[in-house]
Amino acid sequence: MIAVHPLLEGLPDEKKGKLVSEDQPGFMEPMLATLTDRRFSDGDWIFERKFDGERCLVFREGRSVRLMSRNEKTLNNTYPELEDAFCEAVEANFIADGEIVAFEGEVTSFSRLQDRMQIRERKKARRSDVSVYLYLFDLMYLDGFDLCSLELLTRKDILKNLISFEDPLRYTEHRSENGVEYYHEACRKGWEGIIAKRATGRYLRRRSTDWLKFKCVHRQEFVIGGYTEPGGSRIGFGALLIGYYKDDRLIYAGKVGTGFDDETLQDLADRLSSRERKTSPFTAKDRPEKGEHFVTPELVCEVAFTEWTEDGKLRHPRYLGLRDDKPAKDVVRERPRA
């Protein structure tokens, strides 16, 4: 007979009936939110801060702690202090979902997190002056039971009571009302936005409209398909040529030439030169850019912008950093749902 964790044993019979007994899986696809232009307040939804960081799934089994990106890359060597923290904070076997962040003042900064995301050596990561924190917001498995069919608020309550939350581990608080007011507050504070989640929703291992993104700024991932030559005293390259996939075709979305420091320019130039090719990876590119070069479309970057133009290009794009937690082929244009 399976020994039931006290936090599960204390659940009402109705909720116990939703638990699924199974061996702990080696990986679990994360639930993803859907972009929307609709802002609302609804008692059937909760509202959480949207963090500007790197998604992280935590797998604790026995003494082993694995930090995994959403595309199954191991993050332990990049964030060893988070692995250490879980060894102290909890002894149960579990799978939890969260976001790793770094701060600039009181605002999470993906650009600052870049200095840690690119590190692959544990000793170098420990010497880094970029402090990171992991905000956990969901719990999908606990001591022999899949929790994904439990209501979101029940899962969050178990999570909050399961782990001793001390830095660098933090629990993601939520509001149960005033979603519109919270969204405007988030934008005033310079946050990326908020996430609205259906309070009674299950954890669905895919993108779902049970989780909705209220973004304060436009930003998303793009695939790098080329670059232009640098001008004047600039080093590395002039601008990145970027796009997104639609039906296996790489669609050109314009070029981004701001948001780089000299170190980033040189690092990216080295990465791009090793991927250079003669032909364009873009399905249809309206006109050539001066001094353009093409590369194999493998690198994914995050870009902020003001809006899409009528001809499908980005207005005022700004480079934020590279992402290695999403395959290039998965990058599509995000379109808000009404």
pLDDT in tens, 133-183: 999 999 999 999 999 999 999 999 999 999 999 999 999 999 999 999 999
Percent of the chain at pLDDT exceeding 90: 89
Residues linked to residue 307 through DSSP beta bridges, in sequence order? 315
The boundaries of every CATH 3.30.470.30 domain in the chain are 29-215
User: Residue 82 pLDDT more than 50?
Assistant: yes
C-alpha 126/C-alpha 175 separation (Å) is 35
Q: pLDDT confidence of 1, banded at 50, 70, 90?
A: very low
The boundaries of every CATH 2.40.50.140 domain in the chain are 218-330
pLDDT in tens, 26-61: 999 999 999 999 999 999 999 999 999 999 999 999
pLDDT in tens, 318-331: 999 999 998 999 99
Mean pLDDT over 293-310 rounds to 95
Mean pLDDT over 215-236 rounds to 93
Mean pLDDT over 182-198 rounds to 95
pLDDT in tens, 264-296: 999 999 999 999 999 999 997 767 788 899 999
Q: Does domain 218-330 have CATH number 2.60.40.2140?
A: no
The alpha carbon torsion through 149, 150, 151, 153 (nearest 10 deg) reads -140
Choose the catalytic residue: 50, 156, 215, 285.
50
Assigned CATH for 29-215: 3.30.470.30
Helix ranges (DSSP H) in the chain:
6-9, 13-16, 80-89, 110-117, 122-127, 152-162, 179-188, 262-273
C-alpha 299/C-alpha 85 separation (Å) is 31
Q: Which pLDDT score, from 0 to 100, does residue 338 have?
A: 65
Q: Which pLDDT score, from 0 to 100, does residue 287 have?
A: 75
50 is an active site residue: yes
User: Residue 2 pLDDT more than 70?
Assistant: no
